[in-house]
Every structure is written in C-alpha cells, then in structure tokens.
Amino acid sequence: MIAKYKIIIFLFFLLLFNKLFADENSNIFQHNAIKYNSDYFHEYDDFTILGTIEIKGKNIVLANNIHICGEARRATWRFLLFLDDGTFLGMYYGIAYNKNEIKINGQRIYFPVEAKYGNVIDFSKGIPKEIWIDGIVISYEKINDL
C-alpha cells in the first residue's frame, strides 16, 4: 500500500517537473517579447508558436500574440519572428487569423483569404518590409537584425 502512494507521489512530481521545464523553454520567446516592450506584451497574452521557417540559412520561429487591451476588451494581434535561440527579430501588426488557419509551406506563410486580396508572406528573399494581407498593407517593425 505504501509503495503505491510512493509511485503516485513520484509520478506527480515527475509530471510537475516536466511541465515546469517545458514551460520555461517554450516561453523564452514570449519572455523576450515582454523584455522588448512590456506595454505591448504580457504573460497573460495568448502566445502561440506557429512553426519555423528558414530565412537566409537561419531557422526562424514564427509566433502569434493576441493581447486584450483594457476594459474595452479590444484585441491586438501581432505576428512575431524570432531566431531559434529566442532573439526577437520583429513583428507585423494586425494579422488577425486563428492559428489553425495559417499554413506554412517552405518559406511562405498562407492565410485563409483569396489570393487577389493578398494571402501570403513570402520570406524567400528575406523578411519583407511590407506585406499585403486581406487587402491591407502591413509594415514590418524590425527589432534586431537577421
């Protein structure tokens, strides 16, 4: 009977340790965004890693950040780029799509709108300074060099 409780306690602490360790590693990107500007980014934001692409021989981590502002509960959406070591490269504002709707194919990111309105970010020549998504021109805010 005591052995059963020891196993349960051991498994509990093992799961707890794994959860803490995984969160620490997966949140390096969110923590670096918060360090950059704690007015834009917060721990309670909906922060999601979307995947990785390669730009100029470097692995780039793509993330989506949704921040709910104030009592009005207005959401701000940011599409973030990081080096795989966590260095925050920059962001695009206002790309408001569900993470499950965004598709990564090679060096292109596709959004669920018709091509005639702009539905792709092409990173094959580097990070575009401006993109056109769903009829809106969106500028890139550079934070660090690639």
23-45 pLDDT, tens digit per residue, is 444 589 999 999 999 888 889 89
For residue 20, the model assigns a pLDDT of 45
Write down the pLDDT at residue 6: 58
Secondary-structure percent of the chain, ordered helix, strand, coil, rounded to 5: 25, 40, 35
β-sheet bridge partners, residue 139? 130
Which tens digits make up the pLDDT trace of 96-146?
Answer: 777 788 999 999 999 999 999 999 999 999 999 999 999 999 999 999 998
Question: Residue 80: helix, strand or coil by DSSP?
Answer: strand
Confidence band, pLDDT 50/70/90 cuts, at residue 9 = low
Task: Choose the weakest-confidence range: 18-27, 86-95, 128-137.
Answer: 18-27
**In contact, 106 and 120? CB cutoff 8 Å:** no
pLDDT in tens, 72-84: 677 888 999 999 9
Please state the domain extents for the chain.
Answer: 28-142
Cβ pair 76, 86 in contact under 8 A: no
Strand order in the sheet with 103-105: 103-105, 108-110, 120-122
